[in-house]
């Protein structure tokens, strides 16, 4: 509606001022008295139309003072500025009137220009502070002194309150107090914690964090990140250095550790892949390694009895025990290379079908993956094409054993031939467990490699070991013939020239040693060597 001039009624004790009354003091027309019906004033050219201002609180004004002033186009406020002033008057009743009582610029244009200039400077300052906050989370003392000089007057305080800003001097003081309080509480709640003490010291020195006004979830998120970083640093600081052969400076100790590591790998394969007593198992391997020479035996004896050498002994034992993880990792990797060809895993199957195949192959106490004549695709569909009379006969088992322990003349199966001869029970069990683990990596319908360690596979290894022992105990003749045949096949496929002669017990069974002794004592003498009997010769009793 058009702007009206208003003449106050002297009989009225209270006058109601709206935002228009504020405009009157800045060169804009005032609003009418509350409840009065005033005739419209004559319109002036180019008079701005404004919205009806919200009601404001009442103040006392002199009755003989003229409150009307003709508006001019150059001194009118924009609608946006009017809305800002209206909100200020609504939220903070009376503050505009009191704020305008001080000395003001002489002309209406100067007043309007001053307000616009201050508002623009305040907004620019706030933008600069936001950019600075993003780059520098903590205020330094130089910045605090600079902001202390930029104090706001009363009008700017009211406008900045509406815009969500504060007097920077007060804000700094408040942040410092809050930061110190947070630092004190942090030190009290985490007494004795190195991280807590360091954070408290930082807060006391820098005047606290600037994020004390942030929402709780943001403060908590930053706190978690700091704690995670601190925890990882603690783990790195407390982590032991990797034990290597080169870290052992003494030549005798280094030789003992190297030999012990290799012996332990052979014991892991042929006796127990996941021993319960690591220390005892490790010392057994070192003792066997030391037995090859008097010098190493003396070194090992000195390590055991001399209390001043316990650190060196531990260093040697740690390196020797690394052989357990080494050999288990090799077996596990070789087994992973068999699951695709022998068991068709993943075999291009969808997720649910792949999970069904893995479950069927590795079902507990069924050991299906170890049987011969296994047709995986038919078994998957009809559950019945494997030969239960051929345990341990799957080619994957023999392939893994050959690639790990008989790949060349330098392999452990050759260096420790007496230990690996005729493939002992524990070797079969370890190969079975490694294949089971490789298949199980696909149990989720996708490949997720799991650590081949005690906590995951000791139970399966013990189960497979009982299965092989059961075969060896209940069908000893079959197991002996089967293991011997597998051993010969593996060595021949690896081009290894091994001794495949009959066992000494079998040779001794053909000779009557008692008769030979009787003849010798009777003076019959010893017959000279003669030509061996040909193929047609027969044994006579």
**The pLDDT of residue 349 is above 80:** yes
pLDDT digit string (tens) for 60-95? 444 444 444 444 444 467 888 778 777 777 776 666
Burial 395-410 (b: 16+ CB within 10 A, else e): ebbbbbbbbbbbeeee
pLDDT digits 0-9 by tens, 199-245: 444 444 444 444 445 445 434 433 333 444 456 665 555 555 678 99
For the record, the structure tokens of 143 come out as: 């910045």
Write out pLDDT tens, residues 9-46. Answer: 444 444 444 444 444 444 444 444 444 444 444 444 44
CA atoms of 158 and 452, how far apart (whole Å): 69
Higher-pLDDT residue of 169 and 376 is 376
Measured in degrees and rounded to the nearest 5, phi and psi for residue 59 equal -135, 160
Instruction: Write the pLDDT tens digit of every residue in 303-339.
Output: 999 999 999 999 999 999 999 999 999 999 999 999 9
pTM for the predicted model, two decimal places: 0.52
For residue 539, what pLDDT is reported?
39
pLDDT tens digits, residue range 415-437?
A: 999 999 999 999 999 999 999 99
Residue 235, CA atoms < 13 Å, CB-side half-sphere:
6
Rounded CA gap, 458 and 326, in Å? Answer: 16
In the chain, pLDDT over 90 holds for what percent of residues?
40
Mean pLDDT of the chain: 72
Residue 92: C-alpha distances to residues 85, 95, 104, 112, 167 (Å): 10, 6, 21, 21, 17
- Mean pLDDT confidence for 259-268: 97
Q: pLDDT-derived band of residue 101, with 50, 70 and 90 as boundaries?
A: low
Summarize the confidence of residues 387-395 as an average pLDDT. Answer: 92
Query: pLDDT tens across 270-296, in order?
Result: 999 999 999 999 999 999 999 999 999
- Segment 484-511 mean pLDDT: 76
């Amino acid at each position: 509606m058009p702007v009206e001039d208003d003449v106050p009624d002297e009989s009225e004790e209270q006058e109601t001022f709206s935002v228009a009354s504020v405009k009157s003091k800045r060169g804009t027309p005032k609003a009418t008295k509350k409840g009065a019906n005033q005739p419209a004033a004559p319109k002036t050219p180019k008079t701005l139309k404004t919205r009806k201002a919200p009601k404001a609180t009442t103040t006392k004004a002199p009755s003989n003072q003229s409150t009307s002033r003709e508006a001019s186009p150059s001194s009118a406020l924009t609608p946006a500025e009017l809305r800002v002033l209206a909100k200020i008057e609504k939220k903070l009743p009376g503050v505009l009137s009191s704020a305008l009582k001080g000395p003001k610029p002489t002309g209406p244009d100067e007043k309007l220009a001053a307000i616009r200039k201050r508002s623009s400077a305040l907004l620019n300052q706030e933008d600069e502070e936001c950019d600075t906050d993003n780059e520098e989370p903590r205020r330094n003392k130089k910045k605090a002194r600079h902001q202390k000089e930029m104090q706001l007057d009363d009008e700017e305080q009211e406008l900045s309150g509406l815009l969500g800003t504060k007097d920077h001097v007060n804000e700094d003081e408040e942040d410092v107090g809050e930061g110190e309080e947070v630092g004190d509480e942090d030190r009290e709640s985490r007494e004795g914690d190195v991280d807590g003490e360091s954070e408290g010291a930082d807060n006391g020195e820098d005047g606290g964090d600037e994020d004390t006004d942030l929402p709780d979830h943001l403060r908590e998120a930053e706190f978690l990140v700091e704690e995670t970083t601190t925890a990882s640093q603690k783990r790195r600081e407390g982590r032991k250095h990797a034990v290597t052969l080169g870290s052992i400076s003494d030549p005798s100790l280094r030789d003992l550790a190297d030999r012990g590591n290799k012996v332990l790998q052979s014991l892991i394969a042929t006796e127990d892949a996941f021993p319960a007593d690591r220390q005892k198992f490790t010392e057994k391997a070192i003792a066997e390694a030391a037995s090859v020479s008097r010098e190493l035996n003396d070194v090992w004896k000195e390590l055991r009895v001399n209390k001043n050498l316990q650190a060196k002994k531990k260093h040697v034992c740690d390196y020797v025990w690394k052989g357990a993880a080494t050999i288990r990792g090799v077996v596990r990797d070789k087994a992973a290379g068999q699951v695709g060809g022998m068991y068709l895993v993943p075999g291009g199957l969808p997720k649910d079908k792949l999970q069904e195949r893995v479950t069927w192959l590795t079902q507990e106490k069924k050991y299906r993956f170890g049987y011969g004549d296994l047709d995986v695709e038919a078994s998957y569909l009809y559950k019945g094409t494997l030969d239960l009379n051929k345990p341990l006969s799957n080619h994957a088992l023999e392939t893994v054993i050959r690639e790990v322990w008989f790949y060349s003349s330098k392999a452990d199966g050759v260096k420790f031939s007496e230990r690996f001869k005729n493939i002992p029970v524990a070797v079969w069990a370890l190969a079975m467990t490694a294949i089971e683990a490789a298949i199980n990596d696909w149990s989720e319908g996708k490949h997720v490699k799991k650590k081949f360690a005690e906590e995951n596979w000791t139970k399966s290894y013990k189960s497979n070991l009982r299965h092989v022992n059961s075969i060896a105990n209940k069908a000893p003749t079959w197991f002996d013939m089967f293991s011997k045949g597998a051993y010969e096949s593996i060595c021949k496929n690896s081009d290894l020239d091994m001794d495949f002669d009959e066992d000494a017990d079998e040779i001794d069974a053909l000779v009557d040693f008692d008769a030979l002794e009787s003849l010798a004592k009777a003076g019959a003498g010893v017959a000279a060597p003669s030509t061996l009997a040909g193929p047609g010769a027969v044994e006579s009793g």
